[in-house]
Amino acid sequence: MASKQNIAKLIHGMGVFGAILLSFGVARAQEAQELPLHPHSIIKLELTFRGPGADRLTRVFAGMQTDAQTPPDQAGFMNNFPGEFKLISPGVFDAEFTIPDTVISGVYSLPALDVRGDGIQLDYKNGVDFQLHTFRVENPNKFTKPPVTIKLISSGPTAGAAPQLLLMAP
């Protein structure tokens, strides 16, 4: 029969083991990533420019892009997609990025913003001028590049016709 002291050690050991397991679970939860996005998902952002001159900014152009290689089963698909920006108040824009049906799967970022106003053009870089995390896109749509064959039917100056002489007057 086990002594009370051995049972206490066993319970204490189980408690320590449980605490270790719990700490691994908490650490994994802190590393949790957002769920992947799919075609027709929308990324909504609000851009706010502050300070003197922010009210002179009237347009923003930007797009999400990935460095992923195009897989063979997504031939012809894009590796970027544009955003639509709407000025909602001086210096404040709403942005929407709708993931198209023909974008490759990969991790997308917003690398830069092209911001304009009357006679003004500014560039803002992700990681320098603003911070925005990446977005994982999983596209189940597939397209494989079909093979092509080309058959020569004829060739020459007048394909299929007998050659003709061109006479020139002196």
Question: What are the residue ranges spanned by the domains of the chain?
Answer: 1-32, 42-137
pTM across the whole model: 0.71
Give the pLDDT confidence of 114-135 residue by residue, as tens digits: 999 999 999 999 999 999 999 9
Between 165 and 95, name the one with better pLDDT: 95
**Stretch among 17-26, 44-53, 103-112 having the lowest mean pLDDT:** 17-26
Q: Quick one: pLDDT band at residue 42, thresholds 50, 70, 90?
A: very high
**Stretch among 48-52, 88-92, 94-98, 153-157 having the lowest mean pLDDT:** 153-157
- pLDDT score, position 160: 58
98, two tokens: 């709708």
Percent of the chain's residues with pLDDT above 70: 73
In three-state form (DSSP H/G/I as H, E/B as E, the rest C), the secondary structure along 91-150 is CEEEEEEECCCCECCEEEECCEEEEEECCEEEEEEECCCECCCCEEECCCCCECCCCCCC
Q: Give CA–CA dist 168/102, Å, rounded.
A: 58
Asked if the model's pLDDT at residue 72 lies above 70, the reply is yes
Give the pLDDT confidence of 74-103 residue by residue, as tens digits: 999 999 999 999 999 999 999 999 999 999
Q: Quick one: pLDDT band at residue 21, thresholds 50, 70, 90?
A: very low
Between 100 and 26, name the one with better pLDDT: 100
Q: Give CA–CA dist 2/12, Å, rounded.
A: 15
Q: Give CA–CA dist 155/148, Å, rounded.
A: 20
